[in-house]
């Protein structure tokens, strides 16, 4: 968000675009990230671990999920995190499998949200004409960017490095000795990951953005093609 603000000051972007970016970021932080964390707690509870539920995490209330450090990082660097949902794997009958499924619930929820917002974006795009209100175009852009952020959140969390969800999913197939060895270096891998992402962001090349944009383009084109057939 800082880069968008600097672009506004430098005259490289207009105020409306900046305002849309700001609203999108606030919407994702307040509405979409809580869905991700709630999904973790909900699936864990269904699989036998009530820890997240007992900590009040099966809720869409952002105050129960958001971390001020993670939110600040989103505003400054464009990526961040919410408070992890507590989980006691000893409550699972099949610890590795159920822990992996609990972790998978978060990215899946973001992909579902991404699909929903792609559909909304396509609907508003259909009504954009030369004489239509600018409201339709703004709504189309808003939902399109929200869809992108949700897909980006899913892609980011699927990176198979601790403490991201991908590492828990990888545990389903990873031998125990390798799994526990990886988590011995969890803190160092976490810092290394964010430093790497920050460097990529500064040099203008982001593999995560490239993957997320590609998925969004494929999904958006497919949905719009379906709409063009039936409408």
CA triple 88-32-95, angle to 5 deg: 20
Could you tell me the CA-to-CA distances from 20 to 6, 32, 56, 189, 225 in Å, in that order? 15, 16, 32, 34, 26
Which are the contacts of 210, defined by CB distance < 8 A and separation ≥ 6?
none
CA-based nearest residue to 84, from 96, 66, 110, 97: 66
Q: How far is CA 82 from the centre of its chain?
A: 10
Query: Catalytic: which of 37, 137, 184, 186?
Result: 37
H/E stretch holding 142 reads helix 134-157
For every residue of 61-105, DSSP letters joined together read -GGGT--HHHHHHHHHHS----PPPP--GGG-SSHHHHHHHHHHH
What would the two tokens of residue 105 be?
A: 């619930």
Active site residue 37: yes
CA-based nearest residue to 22, from 141, 198, 135, 154: 141
Supply the DSSP symbol for 159: S
> 127-134: which pairs have CB atoms within 8 A and are 24 or more residues apart?
none
**Active site residue ranges:** 37
């Amino acid at each position: 968000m800082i880069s968008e603000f600097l672009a506004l000051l430098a005259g490289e972007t207009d105020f409306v675009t900046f305002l849309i970016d700001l609203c999108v970021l606030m919407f994702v932080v307040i509405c979409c990230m809580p869905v991700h964390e709630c999904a973790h707690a909900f699936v864990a509870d269904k699989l036998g671990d009530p820890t997240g539920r007992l900590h009040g995490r099966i809720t869409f209330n952002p105050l129960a999920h958001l971390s001020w450090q993670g939110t600040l990082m989103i505003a400054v660097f464009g990526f961040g995190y919410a408070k992890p949902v507590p989980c006691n794997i000893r409550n699972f009958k099949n610890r590795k499998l159920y822990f992996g499924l609990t972790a998978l619930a978060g990215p899946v929820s973001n992909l579902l949200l991404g699909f929903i917002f792609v559909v909304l974006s396509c609907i508003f795009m259909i009504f954009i004409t030369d004489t239509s209100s600018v409201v339709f175009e703004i709504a189309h852009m808003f939902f399109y960017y929200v869809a992108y952020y949700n897909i980006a959140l899913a892609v980011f969390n699927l990176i198979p490095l601790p403490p991201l969800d991908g590492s828990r999913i990888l545990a389903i197939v990873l031998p125990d000795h390798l799994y526990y060895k990886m988590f011995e270096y969890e803190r160092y891998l976490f810092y290394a990951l964010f430093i790497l992402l920050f460097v990529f962001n500064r040099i203008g090349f982001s593999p995560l953005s490239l993957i997320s944009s590609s998925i969004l383009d494929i999904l958006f084109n497919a949905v719009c093609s379906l709409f063009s057939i039936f409408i």
